[in-house]
Amino acid sequence: MLRDQFMNDLKVAMKAGEKLRLSTIRLIQAALKDKDIEARGLGKEPLGDDEILQLLQKMIKQRQESARLYAEGGRAELAQQENDEIAVIAGFMPQQMDDAETTAAISDVIAEIGASGIKDMGKVMGELKSRFAGRMDFGKASPAVKQLLGG
């Protein structure tokens, strides 16, 4: 379970004196705790591994945007810190699918659910997210789905 992995890696980082890894894992745990509190308020269960992977993916995207803005603003040291955090967070993610695997997975899902046009894009994306959370970049998958559905 990812929660256990975070705790174990936190302990290892503490013992090894890896400040960046330690602070990044603490950021992940804080974001996770916020989401768990939010879920509890809505009467839901704590986040499962799939939802945790989605949270990690969101954290990576946020840091990519921040790094880009810092780089454009001439703040290379802050951009580097964001990129370093991305590397730590990405270490908890499963191997990402390449473009060929993504296209094949999209084609399979379209065939399985019988999607016939752009009106079925939501169904296809929902199915992809449930099957490939954390492994597929949905920002890249969305245009591919639209193209394969003829949009």
- Could you tell me the residue ranges of all domains in the chain? 2-90, 99-148
CA atoms of 67 and 86, how far apart (whole Å) = 10
SS3 92: coil
pLDDT digits (tens, 9 = 90+) for 117-147: 888 888 888 888 888 877 888 888 888 888 8
**CA-based radius of gyration for the chain:** 18
For the segment 20-37, the average pLDDT, to the nearest whole number, is 95
**pLDDT tens per residue across span 97-118:** 888 888 888 889 888 888 888 8
Nearest to 144, CA basis, from 121, 123, 127? 121
Q: Which residues of 16-27 are buried (b: 16+ CB within 10 A; e: fewer)?
A: eeeeebbebbee
User: The pTM is what?
Assistant: 0.73
Check: CATH 1.10.1510.10 for 2-90?
yes
Q: And the tokens for 56?
A: 């990690």
pLDDT given for residue 139 in this prediction: 80
Q: Give domain 99-148's CATH number out of 1.10.10.410, 3.40.30.10, 3.40.50.2300, 3.30.1360.120.
A: 1.10.10.410
